[in-house]
Amino acid sequence: MRVLSRTESGREDRFRQLVRERDGKCVITGLVNVDADIGDWTIFEAAHVFPLSHGEYFRNQGFPRWIPNRRGERDTGINSCQNGLLMQSNVHQLFDSFKFSINPDDNYKITSFDSDLLGLDGRTLDPTCRDPNDERRVSDELLWWHFRQAVLANMRGAGEPVLEFDFPPGTDMVGEIRSGPEAAKRMEAELFSRLDGISLA
């Protein structure tokens, strides 16, 4: 019998919950989750704009300054809803692979860098997640970082490596990481994110 290794951290649970509450729909395609009232989010995932797998880089490069609603000094904000967007599962995979991105400097226009089978190019990010009066709104600076990485990754292959995946409940996370690209780096990032904030003293 295969034992599944997926566990939920409190921070990731809260991240997912807050993004779902704020958005309620795929903010890229506009598909509303009509089953939200019964707690069914089957085809929707909370995507990190800045990948969770790069938590140490996020902290070391000062990215927490773009998340003003952190809970104390030890919280980097990488699991803040300001670093999240609700997307359909297939759209989330494309976003994490830098196949499309959102330019906050061009009225939040979506740019596709691939064959665009879903017709995303030219759409606009839903206003639900970017209301300037909502302190939970997605960070423009993090959207800009993602857009820049997408341009680099698609124009000359110079962007950050694509390592971010959302592991839904029931997934063999360790198996997925071990069989994927840069397994050692991803495992280290996963362990770092789980131990983040835990004092060993």
Residue-by-residue pLDDT tens, the chain, 201 positions: 333 333 345 678 899 999 999 999 999 999 999 999 999 999 999 999 999 889 999 999 999 999 987 776 678 899 999 999 999 999 999 999 999 999 999 999 999 999 999 999 999 999 999 999 999 999 999 999 999 999 998 886 554 555 545 555 556 666 666 665 556 655 555 554 454 444 444
Asked if the structure places residue 1 within a domain, the reply is no
Asked if the structure places residue 2 within a domain, the reply is no
Asked if the structure places residue 142 within a domain, the reply is yes
Domain that holds residue 49: 10-193
Asked if the structure places residue 156 within a domain, the reply is yes
- Number of structural domains found in the chain: 1
Query: Which two tokens mark 47?
Result: 């995507």
Asked if the structure places residue 144 within a domain, the reply is yes
Asked if the structure places residue 200 within a domain, the reply is no
Query: Which two tokens mark 151?
Result: 């341009």
What gap in Å lies between CA 70 and CA 58, rounded to an integer? Answer: 14
CA distances from 93 to 10, 43, 87, 166 (A): 23, 12, 9, 9
Asked if the structure places residue 3 within a domain, the reply is no
pLDDT at 67: 92
